[in-house]
Copies of this chain bind each other. A is one copy, B any other.
Amino acid sequence: VRYRPNAAAQALSKGKMNAIGVAAVLEGGMLNHYFLEILNGIVEAAVRHDHHITVFTMHDWEKEASRVETFCDGRVDGLILAAPMIAEVTPEHFPGHVPFVSLHANHPLPGVLNIQPDEFAGSATMVKELIRLCHKRILYVAGPAHMEGARRRLEGYRHAMSEEGLGGEPDLVVEGGFSSINGKEAIKKWLETHRGESLPTAIVCANDASAIGCQEALAEAGILVPDDISIAGFDDTLASRMTVPPLSTVRQPIAAMAAKAVDLLLDPAARETVPPEGLIFPTEILLRGSVAKPRKHKVVAGQ
């Protein structure tokens, strides 16, 4: 039988575990696709640094923030927070002896480096692309109002519209959410309250899941994508490539962001060179089958 060095003993002796932790909040008790892609990127980067990954999950950030401290009991050399962090966090939750990096934090955390995509620009650019294709009436299905990221996406839409002189029209921004149910309900409600009026030529949603829900609602109402209406999401999740037609969306460079998070975590010197407000990564517009030039004016069917 071969000799097999014991990891716990090595860790104790060397003072490092060669492992990094990833803490996520489960929304609705489930890990989501966005987290899956982040995890994938982190794992890839960690393997390059010869580090293992330990996954910590929380159900409710407000109630369990104190658990973060227990993750820092020496079993990881650093922690990536891949959680929206809806609640404000007090620094006491973050022990000083472990490096932290947050990925796409909702609120910037005191003393924690944050990495996020440029949601404002991504959203604004998508809207401008649609306008370039001659869309003028563009409905926006917003995300959860209490989330910073959703707010930035909405602001991107508003900015692009008003810059092109298309703002103004009421009822062109509706409340939605980040789930497909939210998107579906939002569209069904809009269609009900706007019977006999003309349909917008495009819909932009705060994320892919919401856009997929919209597509469902449109399909049920007999409205064809992209013939009657164009639709776009945000995130480029795997699901966006699996709808028919495939969903146009805004891609975040998740692998690059995750790799950077790992690099910063493992190299204290690199952390010094990052501005305190964190790193913002550019996004990329992906136009797919769900977007076309507006073809015909369509009126919302009556009862």
Residues of A in contact with B (beta carbons under 8 Å apart): 4-9, 11-12, 17, 19, 26, 29-31, 33, 35-36, 39-40, 43-44, 47, 52-57, 69, 72-75, 95, 180, 209, 212, 215-216, 219, 238-239, 242-245
List the B residue with the shortest CB-CB distance to A73: B7
Q: Could you list 17 further interchain pairs (A-B, Cβ under 8 angstroms) beyond the known A4-B69, A35-B36, A52-B55? A: A4-B73, A7-B75, A8-B74, A8-B75, A9-B12, A12-B12, A29-B44, A31-B36, A33-B33, A39-B55, A52-B54, A52-B56, A52-B75, A209-B242, A215-B244, A239-B239, A242-B243
Per assembly, the copies of the chain total 2
Specify which of B26, B40, B242 is in contact with A239 (CB 8 Å cutoff): B242
A35 proximity list for chain B (CB < 8 A): 36
**A8-B74, A180-B242, A215-B244 are known contacts. Are A55 and B53 too (CB-CB below 8 A)?**
yes
A219 proximity list for chain B (CB < 8 A): 244-245
List the B residue with the shortest CB-CB distance to A29: B44
A53 proximity list for chain B (CB < 8 A): 54-55
Q: CA of A53 to CA of B6 in the docked complex: distance in angstroms?
A: 18
